[in-house]
């Protein structure tokens, strides 16, 4: 087996290689004079089972991922598994208005041209799985997050919206603590009203758990409401730390600890999803 890392997933690639005792292929990355991307896989992957590990978060990530898929395929490997810890462009998993593309379908089908299997982590919406002609597994991350928080004396876990309630219920039952969600209602295109459940928050240690932090607006609003209720510590955790526009810096002002997994590798990636990916293979 060989692991080919995109530039978005060096750490997860190395961790997977150590779990499977296999090599991480070197990749030459350069720019042509006109700034187009040049890539070359150094190791010989002919006849090998190859995992390509990388994200599709930015436009550049997508180009890199597709070019690496083609580079691997040209070498005639035994199989290609596309591991995409953060499957970007997944919010547009359906057409909301006429004239729009279904972006998660576009990238699923592009990967289908090359890969025998796709593995992702906590997709924005599972509708995307239906666009694939090859087996497509979406992994849910609970255990590594539970292990990280099990000794932190959390009093309860809360989801910033009802969509994440199943996740926090599961986490609450593992930690042996109550789980709640914040009622989130959209008032108009720019206003969202969030209402905390009626509980005693004073001096409590609270874990806010979400699937993704992007602009940070959701986590910040939830944290401010909880602070106003007199909580002692707020631990903010999400699977994917996108941190658009450096929102991490703002979030840090409102929470005692910010933690995400390494689906996107950041300085807050205290939790690894590599074990869960390895188990799914
Ligand atoms: C909403 O459905 C998601 O679970 C997240 O709460 C949301 O996407 C977070 O986005 P932001 O950080 O921009 O508020």
Containing 248, the helix (H) or strand (E) segment is helix 247-251
- pLDDT over 90 (residue 187): no
Report pLDDT for 196: 94
Q: Is 212 in the pocket of ligand 1 (CB under 6 A)?
A: yes
Token output for 34 = 């006109």
Question: Which among 140, 169, 184, 227 is annotated as catalytic?
Answer: 184
Per residue in 55-74, pLDDT tens? 999 999 999 999 999 999 99
Q: Is 241 in the pocket of ligand 1 (CB under 6 A)?
A: no
201 touches 180 (CB < 8 A): no
Q: How confident is the model at residue 188 (pLDDT cuts 50, 70, 90)?
A: confident
Q: Is 163 in the pocket of ligand 1 (CB under 6 A)?
A: yes
223 touches 255 (CB < 8 A): yes
CA distance 38 to 3: 19
What is the 17 CA–ligand 1 centroid distance (Å)? Answer: 32
Token output for 202 = 């004073």
Nearest to 56 by CA among 242, 248, 215, 275: 242
Nearest to 86 by CA among 270, 263, 215, 242: 263
Helix (H, G, I), strand (E, B) or coil at 224: helix
Q: Is 168 in the pocket of ligand 1 (CB under 6 A)?
A: no
Contacts 24+ apart (CB under 8 A), 150-157: 150/174, 150/175, 152/205, 152/207, 152/235, 153/205, 154/205, 154/206, 154/207, 154/235, 155/204, 155/205, 155/206, 156/180, 156/199, 156/204, 156/206, 156/207, 157/206, 157/207, 157/208, 157/209
Q: Is 26 in the pocket of ligand 1 (CB under 6 A)?
A: no
Per residue in 102-153, pLDDT tens? 999 999 999 999 999 999 999 988 999 999 999 999 999 999 999 999 999 9
215 touches 244 (CB < 8 A): yes
What is the 163 CA–ligand 1 centroid distance (Å)? Answer: 10
Longest dimension (CA), the chain: 62
* Class for the domain spanning 2-139: alpha beta
Average pLDDT over residues 46-56: 97
Report pLDDT for 189: 67
Q: Which atom of ligand 1 is nearest to the CA of 217?
A: 14
What is the 210 CA–ligand 1 centroid distance (Å)? Answer: 8
Per residue in 67-98, pLDDT tens? 999 999 999 999 999 999 999 999 899 999 99
pTM (two decimals): 0.94
**Domain ranges for the chain:** 2-139, 143-271
CA distance 33 to 110: 27
What is the CATH number assigned to the segment(s) 143-271? 3.40.50.2020
Q: Out of 43-47, 168-172, 185-189, which region has the weakest mean confidence (pLDDT)?
A: 185-189
CA distance 91 to 125: 7
Please indicate whether residue 105 is annotated as part of the active site: no
Q: Is 155 in the pocket of ligand 1 (CB under 6 A)?
A: no
- pLDDT over 80 (residue 52): yes
ipTM of the complex: 0.98
What is the 276 CA–ligand 1 centroid distance (Å)? Answer: 23
Report in angstroms the alpha-carbon separations of 38 from 2, 33, 97: 21, 10, 36
What is the 252 CA–ligand 1 centroid distance (Å)? Answer: 17
């Amino acid at each position: 087996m060989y692991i080919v890392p995109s530039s978005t997933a060096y750490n997860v690639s190395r961790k997977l290689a150590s779990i499977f005792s296999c090599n991480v292929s070197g990749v030459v990355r350069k720019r042509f004079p006109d700034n187009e991307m040049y890539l070359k896989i150094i190791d010989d992957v002919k006849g090998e089972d190859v995992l390509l590990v990388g994200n599709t978060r930015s436009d550049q990530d997508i180009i890199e991922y597709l070019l690496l898929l083609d580079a691997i395929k040209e070498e005639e490997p035994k199989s290609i598994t596309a591991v995409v810890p953060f499957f970007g462009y997944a919010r547009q998993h359906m057409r909301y208005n006429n004239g729009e593309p279904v972006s998660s379908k576009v990238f699923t089908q592009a990967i289908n041209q090359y890969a025998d299997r796709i593995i992702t982590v906590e997709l924005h919406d599972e509708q995307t799985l239906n666009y694939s002609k090859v087996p497509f597994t979406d992994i849910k991350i609970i255990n590594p997050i539970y292990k990280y928080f099990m000794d932190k004396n959390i009093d309860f876990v809360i989801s910033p919206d009802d969509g994440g309630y199943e996740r926090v219920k599961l986490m609450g039952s593992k930690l042996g603590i109550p789980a709640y969600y914040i009622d989130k209602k959209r008032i108009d295109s720019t206003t969202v009203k969030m209402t905390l459940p009626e509980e005693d928050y004073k001096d409590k240690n609270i874990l806010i758990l979400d699937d993704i932090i992007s602009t940070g607006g959701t986590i910040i609003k939830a944290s401010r409401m909880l602070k106003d209720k007199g909580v002692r510590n707020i631990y903010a955790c999400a699977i994917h730390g996108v941190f658009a526009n450096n929102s991490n810096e703002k979030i840090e002002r409102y929470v005692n600890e910010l933690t995400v997994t390494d689906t996107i590798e950041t300085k807050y990636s205290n939790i690894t999803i590599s074990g869960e990916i390895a188990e799914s293979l």
